[in-house]
Structure 1
Amino acid sequence: MWPEEDHTGPLGLAVSGGPDSLALLLLAHVAFPDRCAVASVDHGLRPEAAGEVAMVERVCASLDVPFTALKVAVPRGNLQAGAREARYRALAEWAQSEGLGAVATAHHAEDQAETLMMRLARGSGLSGLAGVRAATTMPGCDIALVRPLLSFRRAELEALVAASGIEPVRDPSNTDESFDRVRMRGHLAGLDWLDAEPLARSAQHLAEAWRAIEWYAQIDWEEMVFEDADGDGSRCYRYYANVPRAIQVETVRRIVASLGGEVSRSEAGRAADRLWRGENASLGGVLAKAGIERMERLGLEMRVWRFRAEPPRTRH
Structure 2
Amino acid sequence: MTPDTAAVARFAHDLAAAIGAPPTGAIALAVSGGADSMAMLALAHAALPGRVYAATVDHRLRADAADEAAMVGRWCASVGIPHTILAPLQPPEGASIQAQARQARYDLLGAWALGTGATALLTAHHADDQAETFLMRAVRGSGPSGLAGIRTRWRLQPERWRGDAAAGPHGMLVVRPLLGWRRASLRAFATTAGLPFVEDPSNVDPRHDRTRFRALLAETPLLDVGGLARAAQHCAQMDAALAETIVLLEQDRVLAAPPEERCINVQGLPRELQRRMARRAIEHVRSMAQPAEGSWGAGTNIEPLLDALESGSGATHAGVAASAAGDRWRFRPAPPRRSP
TM-score (norm: length of structure 2): 0.81
Q: 1:16 to 1:267 in 2, by over 3 A?
A: closer
- Whether 1:20 aligns to 2:36 is yes
2:262–2:284 CA contact under 8 A, matched in 1? no
Give the 3-state SS of the residue equivalent to 1:168 in structure 2.
coil
Letter aligned with residue 42 of structure 1: D
Which protein is richer in strand relative to its size?
A: 1
- Unpaired runs of 5+ residues, structure 2, are 1-17, 159-166
- 1:286 matched to 2:286: no
Question: Is residue 224 of structure 1 aligned with residue 257 of structure 2?
Answer: no
Is this contact kept in 2: 1:109–1:197, CA < 8 A? yes
Change (3 A) 1:223 1:33: farther
Cα shift readout 1:184-243 (whole Å, capped 9, x = no counterpart): 1111111011111111111011011111111112223343113424xxxx9543211143
Letter in 2 for 1:170: E
Which residue of 2 is the match for residue 75 of structure 1?
92
Q: 1:249 aligns with which of 269, 275, 285?
A: 275
Task: State whether residues 29 and 41 of structure 2, in contact with CA within 8 Å, keep that contact through their aligned partners in structure 1.
Answer: yes
Distance 1:305 1:205 in 2: 31
Paired position in structure 2 for 1:295: none
| Higher RCO (CA-CA < 8 Å; seq separation 6+) | 2
Distance 1:275 1:199 in 2: 35
Does the CA contact (< 8 Å) of 2:148 and 2:239 recur in 1? yes
Match of 1:134 among 148, 152, 158: 152
TM-fit CA distance, 1:272: 3.3
Paired with 1:29 and 1:120, the residues of 2 have a C-alpha distance of: 36
Partner deviation per Cα, 1:88-132 (whole Å, 9 max, x = no partner): 110000011111100110001110000010111111121111000
Q: Which amino acid in the other structure matches residue 322 of structure 2? A: L
Equivalent of residue 43 in structure 1, options 59, 78, 82: 59
- Residues of 2 paired with 1:99 and 1:315: CA distance? 43
Please point out which of 60, 71, 94 is paired with 1:55: 71
Residues 280 and 289 of structure 1 are in contact (CA less than 8 Å); yes or no, is this contact kept in structure 2? yes
Pairing partner for 1:4 from 14, 21, 28: 21
- Aligned positions, number: 299
Letter in 2 for 1:119: R
SS of the aligned residue for 1:4 comes to: coil
Question: Which residue of 2 is the match for residue 90 of structure 1?
Answer: 108
Task: Call closer, same or farther: CA 1:68–1:310 in 2, change over 3 Å.
Answer: closer
Residue-by-residue CA offset, 1:255-278 (whole Å, 9 max, x unaligned) = 22333366677753443344345x
Q: Which residue does the alignment assign to 1:192?
A: 221
The secondary structure found in structure 2 opposite 1:283 is: strand
Which of 225, 228, 240 does residue 265 from structure 2 map onto?
240
Q: TM (normalized to structure 1)?
A: 0.87
Sort the Cα spacing of 1:275 and 1:55 in 2 relative to 1 into closer, same or farther, 3 A. Answer: same
1:170 maps to which of 199, 209, 231: 199
Change (3 A) 1:43 1:240: same
Q: Which runs of 5+ in 1 are unaligned?
A: 292-302
% same residue: 41
| Aligned alpha-carbon RMSD (Å) | 2.2
Are 1:289 and 1:306, in contact at CA under 8 Å, matched by a contact in 2? yes
Distance 2:206 2:57 in 1: 23
After superposition, the Cα gap between the structure-2 partners of 1:84 and 1:280, relative to the gap in structure 1 and judged at 3 Å, is same
Change (3 A) 1:23 1:266: closer
Deviations 1:140-190 (A, max 9, x none): 352210000011111100000001112311111111101111011111111
- Partner Cα separation in structure 1 for residue 114 and residue 337 of structure 2: 40
